[in-house]
Structure 1
Amino acid sequence: MSIESITAASAGTTLTSPVVGGGVFSGTAKALDPNANTMDKKAFLQLLVTQLRNQDPGAPMDSNALMAQTTQMASMEALTELSTTSRESFALQMRVAAAALVGKNVSYSDGTTTITGVASAVSFVGGVPTVTVGGKDVALDAIATISAAAPAPLTPVVPT
């Protein structure tokens, strides 16, 4: 038995899906995100439970089909966790990269000219870290070049 895909459902939409034995169930799509084309774990479980409740007693759901659906749910959970971990890892990498720029010469383009200056601070307030260059906040992904800052000039020490 297969489950037809459900896409772009919004809250309050009625879902229908075939059940083994020719029966049909319906339910309200409250667990679906109206801005996404995917089902979440809660919607998947509601769909599975509704199928089990409304199956034809004379032709119950095949245990292989049930196992396949359970496996699909486990795969979906694993992929969701992997996606979350990847996003968190990327965010951490951006923070480390931005912090490593402090004290270095960086350049960026403001649309017409290339501006070079020393990165003096980093902010992690938004989704993309910003680097302060010459008093202006620049998004990390706008930085074009990085070089070691020029060493401070040596001042001779005269013994007294």
Structure 2
Amino acid sequence: MTTPISGTSTQTTGTTATGAAKTTGNPLTGLDSQAFLKLLVAQLRYQDPSSPTDATAFMTQTATLTQVEKLTALADSQSSLLTSTVSAQASALVGKAVSYKTKVDGETLTGTVSAATFGASPTVRIGNADVPLSLVTGQRTV
């Protein structure tokens, strides 16, 4: 029986007709740099001494780890930039007349934005309603 590497998990959702447990989720989606390093150390520890792994392969794996870490950092900064941009768009609408669609029936209404919230899904306050920025369809001239 193997022990999962910390940072990964699978969930048992029941048993099959044969009595074996079935799992959901992809255990590889939880791998991070720590898990990668643990796998690399395990590979070094348990390699065949009569046929050691080529050093070039380890350099390739280390370079891949670095690339993954940099891409993860880039994705995080892009997400932060997007959040800042949509928050700025929401705040720029304060005091402006806008048209927007309602969630319920898709009817187009108009109103003046009196406040805005910030974050990944900003909203604007129009009258008594908090309207997601994604439902604002345009800015109207007064």
Structure 1 Cα separation of the partners of residues 46 and 101 of structure 2: 62
The equivalent residue for 1:29 is: 5
Of 75, 88, 107, the residue aligned with 1:83 is 75
In structure 2, the partner of 1:153 is none
Alignment: residue pair count: 124
Answering whether residue 34 of structure 2 is matched by residue 58 of structure 1, we say no
User: Which runs of structure 2 are paired with 1:96-135 in the superposition (5 Å)?
Assistant: 96-110=88-102, 111-124=105-118, 127-135=120-128
Which residue number in structure 1 is paired with residue 129 of structure 2? 136
Q: Which has the larger radius of gyration?
A: 1
Amino acid paired to 1:145: G
- 2:139 corresponds, among 133, 140, 146, to 146
Q: Which residue of 2 aligns with 1:42?
A: 34
Q: Deviations over 1:93-149 (max 9, x none)?
A: 01100000001111111124211001110112x63111001121000111011124x
For the residue of structure 2 that corresponds to 1:120, the secondary structure is strand
In the aligned structure 1, how far is the partner of 2:7 from the partner of 2:114? Answer: 46
TM-score, normalization: structure 2? 0.79
1:8-57 deviation line (CA, Å, top 9, x unaligned): xxxxx83xxxxxxxxxxxx5232225566422111111100100111111
Distance 2:127 2:48 in 1: 72
Q: 1:65-90 deviations in whole A, cap 9, x for unaligned? A: 00110011001001100100000000
Structure number with higher helix proportion:
2
- What RMSD in Å do the two structures reach over aligned CA positions? 1.8
Amino acid at match of 1:137: D
The separation in 1 between residues aligned to 2:107 and 2:123, in whole angstroms, is: 19
- Counterpart of 2:67, as a letter, is S
Q: After TM superposition, what 4+ stretches of structure 1 lie above 6 angstroms from structure 2? A: none
